[in-house]
Amino acid sequence: MKVHNFYAGPSILSEFAVEETIKAIKNFANTGLSLMSVSHRSKEFVAVMDEVQQLFKELLNIPEGYSVLFVGGGASTQFAMIPMNIMQKKAFFINTGAWSTKAIKEAKAFGEVVEVSSKDKNFNYIPKNYEIPTDADFVHITTNNTIYGTEFKEDIDSPVNLVADMSSNIFSRTIDVSKYAIIYGGAQKNLAPSGVTFVIIKNEILGKVERHIPTMLNYETHIKKGSMFNTPPVVPIFVALQTLKWIKNNGGLAAMEKMNIEKADLLYNEIERNSLFEGTAAKEDRSLMNICFVMKAEYKEFSAEFLAFATEKGMIGIKGHRSVGGFRASTYNALPKESIEALVDTMQEFEKMKS
């Protein structure tokens, strides 16, 4: 039986990235050494770091004046690191869920925080008709929400520095990096296994705050040392490189976006058609990466049964987050369309059993 990986993260990686990493773990770059035990200062790994940064810039069309960093601590460390480095008095947050809420908590340690929120409807939509205060040091958005299944579909215009947590939808669609001051995220969704965090940062926004910034939490430290101030997580960075090669070889971001729309449409159409299920996110804000749905009220009693049935069919990781319930299919770049088709077949078979 084929297993279909719908986990929200750590999540599915392309077969290419997995196979190339297996080879490197056994013998990295013909050194006779394992990737897991090679020096990060070796010329072979320095070449990996250089290439992964170059591919970031190429695939995302990153303008001059930006740095691409790889750091530790997960996106959660960035929640504090960002305001520590660029917040002087005030920040504005568009709060769309759990991760935004955690980022707000950290920012409050560095100044005033103003927010708009979709909490009134359990974060099932993206706030609209807000005004970004021009005296804010930055505005922060989480572009995709893994728990609630909502997503910003466009790069918003901002009169102040725009900061985005793109942990779960980086490289899933084309973006205009020039609209952002900082883009960051944990790699364990669409890029690599957990253990490394990427940061794309506009260099000119740094060096303006008066507070002392600890060395390891200062972006300028990592820019000056090329993400090598301390030992970087070698294996996840190598996997990220293989993922970016795979994306490039398969047509780049335009191709990823087209494929992701096709996959999402296939599943959303079935959710709407199927008499047992309904989606939880506002239609105009539905995520391409994390598709959340539940049993309709009159069929709630079948929820556990469907989860068990789907698991028996090889659908792994579709249980919804505890704050939402129901089901969640995470459809990251590396998830093949056949996995969506298998889930749709499973939903249709279960519907026939209950009709």
pLDDT at 355: 83
- Same structural domain, 239 and 277: no
- Same structural domain, 296 and 236: no
- Same structural domain, 239 and 279: no
Residue at a domain's end among 217, 249, 281: 249
Give domain status of residue 208, yes or no.
yes
Q: Which of 137, 155, 189, 319 is catalytic?
A: 189
Residue at a domain's end among 249, 284, 308: 249
C-alpha separations of 183 from 142, 179, 303 in Å:
10, 10, 37
pLDDT at 203: 98
pLDDT at 1: 83
Q: Which of 137, 165, 285, 313 is catalytic?
A: 165
- Same structural domain, 29 and 133: yes
Closest to 124 measured CA to CA, from 341, 333, 296, 278? 278
Residues of the chain short of pLDDT 50, as ranges, are none
Question: CATH number for the domain including 32?
Answer: 3.40.640.10
- Same structural domain, 49 and 196: yes
* DSSP state string for 14-51: -HHHHHHHHHHHHSGGGSSS-GGGS-TTSHHHHHHHHH
Asked if 208 is an active-site residue, the reply is no
Give domain status of residue 9, yes or no.
no
- Same structural domain, 240 and 229: yes
pLDDT at 101: 98
Give domain status of residue 8, yes or no.
no
pLDDT at 133: 97
Strand partners, 106: none
Asked if 189 is an active-site residue, the reply is yes
Give domain status of residue 6, yes or no.
no
- Same structural domain, 193 and 326: no
Asked if 165 is an active-site residue, the reply is yes
Say which amino acid occupies 196: V
What does DSSP say about strands 90-95 and 4-5: parallel, antiparallel, or unpaired? unpaired
Longest dimension (CA), the chain: 66
User: pTM of the full predicted structure?
Assistant: 0.97
Residue indicated by tokens 């997995």? 18
Give domain status of residue 1, yes or no.
no
Distance in angstroms between the alpha carbons of the first and the last residue of the chain? 26
- Same structural domain, 44 and 128: yes
Closest to 172 measured CA to CA, from 242, 236, 259, 107? 259
- Same structural domain, 38 and 134: yes
Give domain status of residue 188, yes or no.
yes
Give the span between the Cα atoms of 218 and 300, in whole angstroms: 49
Closest to 184 measured CA to CA, from 102, 79, 289? 79
Give domain status of residue 38, yes or no.
yes
Question: CATH number for the domain including 291?
Answer: 3.90.1150.10
Please state the domain count of the chain: 2
Residue at a domain's end among 249, 264, 295: 249
pLDDT at 59: 98
pLDDT at 323: 84
Strand partners, 319: 327
- Same structural domain, 224 and 260: no
Domain that holds residue 179: 15-249
- Same structural domain, 59 and 156: yes
- Same structural domain, 293 and 201: no
Give domain status of residue 110, yes or no.
yes
